[in-house]
Structure 1
Amino acid sequence: MSRTVFCRKYQKDMEGLSFPPMPGARGQDIFDNISKQAWEEWQNEQTMLINEKHLSLIDPNTRKYIQAQMEHFFNNEPYDKAEGYVPPEK
């Protein structure tokens, strides 16, 4: 049976993650307050940011930037989008 959380992004009860997506307090906060759907959407946004902006996750400043964008995304605040991304035509 899946667990339910009150999702901070969507402001409603939704299916939660099966386990914290990262260690520490930030991972626990996501596990407790972010839905599986919102996490999957963030993963897509994060991938586009990394690819389109040619970011290196080895750089500590890049990791801080990604984490800040993630918080903005989950809090429904403006966040950086991948410039130049054109979704594939269906």
Structure 2
Amino acid sequence: MARMVFCRKFQQEMEGLDVPPMPGAKGQELFDSVSKQAWQEWLNHQTMLINEKHLNMMDLTARAYLNEQRDKFFAGDAIDSVEGYVPPSE
């Protein structure tokens, strides 16, 4: 049976992550309050941010930027869009 959490992104009970997505207190917080679906959506958006903004993940400011965007994403706040991204047509 899947582990259920109250997802703070979607504000409903949903299937939770299988393991914390990162070590430490932040990873545990995400594990306890973010659904698999919300986490996957964040990973997709994060990948687009890294690619379109040419972020260097060795740069601490780029990592801090992504952490800030992740927190805003899960809180439902406005996040930076990806300039130039055009979703594929169906």
TM over 0.5: yes
Alignment map for 1:11-26 (pairs within 5 Å): 11-26=11-26
Which amino acid counterpart does residue 28 of structure 1 have in structure 2? Q
Q: Offset at 1:72? A: 0.3
1:68-79 pair list within 5 angstroms? 68-79=68-79
Corresponding residue of 1:10? 10
1:49 & 1:64 partners in 2: Cα distance? 13
What is the RMSD computed on CA atoms of the aligned residues? 0.6
Task: Give the number of aligned pairs.
Answer: 90
Q: Which runs of 5+ in 1 are unaligned?
A: none
Secondary structure at the counterpart of residue 29 of structure 1? helix
1:89 deviates by: 2.1
Equivalent AA in structure 1 for residue 87 of structure 2: P
The code of the aligned residue for 2:55 comes to L
Structure 2 runs not aligned, ≥5 long: none
CA distances 1:7-29 after superposition (whole Å, capped 9, x unpaired):
00111100000000001111101
Match of 1:59 in 2: 59
Find runs of 4+ consecutive structure 1 residues off by over 3 angstroms: none
DSSP-derived class of the 2:25 partner = helix
The match for 2:40 is 40
Give me the whole-angstrom Cα distance separating, in 2, the residues matched to 1:26 and 1:88: 33
